[in-house]
Amino acid sequence: MKDKILVNIILIINILALVLWLLSLARIVPENFSTAFFVLVLMVNILGGYGIYSILKQKNNEIASLLQQINEKNKTYNQLLLKIRSQEDEIIKQMESMSEQRSIIEFQKQELEDSIEYAFRIQQAILPPINYI
């Protein structure tokens, strides 16, 4: 906001200087008055230019600070993303291992059930039926 006000003030003073110069060309304003006013306008432009430079430098510093904060947050984000991906890979490996173990257990269960069924048939073939006992 300050920079807009400063630019507008400098613009108004320069317009006044232009009007005064036109008036001095028409010999309506004395030459010594217009010379003094032009010196004043020159000083205002120099000071205004420095003011605008200072404001722009401050804004550039603020932008640089914000950019640094963004870069730090991006770095943190990327580190967290790598950690999450690593954990995701570990979870996938554990799930694959669990699936493999489940398959082994299911196979062993089936073999055990088949073995029990086979033993039961052998037992039925060798022993007399229960109603004879």
pLDDT of residue 23: 73
pLDDT of residue 58: 87
Q: Higher model confidence: residue 131 or residue 2?
A: 131
DSSP annotation of 127 reads: S
* Segment 37-59, tens digit of pLDDT: 777 777 777 877 787 788 889 88
Is residue 87 assigned to a domain? yes
Cβ atoms within 10 Å of 13's Cβ, excluding its own: 16
Phi-psi region of 12 (alpha: psi -120 to 50; beta: other; left: phi over 0): alpha
Is residue 97 assigned to a domain? yes
The per-residue b/e assignment along 22-58, b for 16 or more CB within 10 angstroms, e otherwise, is eebeeeebeeeebeebeeebeeeeeebeebeeeeeee
- State the residue range of the domain holding 48: 2-126
Is residue 10 assigned to a domain? yes
Residues 6+ apart with CB under 8 A from 3: 52, 55, 56
Is residue 133 assigned to a domain? no
pLDDT of residue 71: 98
Number of folded domains that form the chain = 1
What Å distances lie between residue 109 and 10, 113, 122, CA to CA? 92, 6, 20
At residue 90, does pLDDT exceed 80?
Answer: yes
Is residue 68 assigned to a domain? yes
Is residue 132 assigned to a domain? no
pLDDT of residue 54: 82
Is residue 46 assigned to a domain? yes
How far is residue 77's CA from residue 57's CA, in Å, rounded to a whole number? 30
pLDDT of residue 105: 97
Is residue 111 assigned to a domain? yes
* Segment 53-89, tens digit of pLDDT: 888 898 899 999 999 999 999 999 999 999 999 999 9
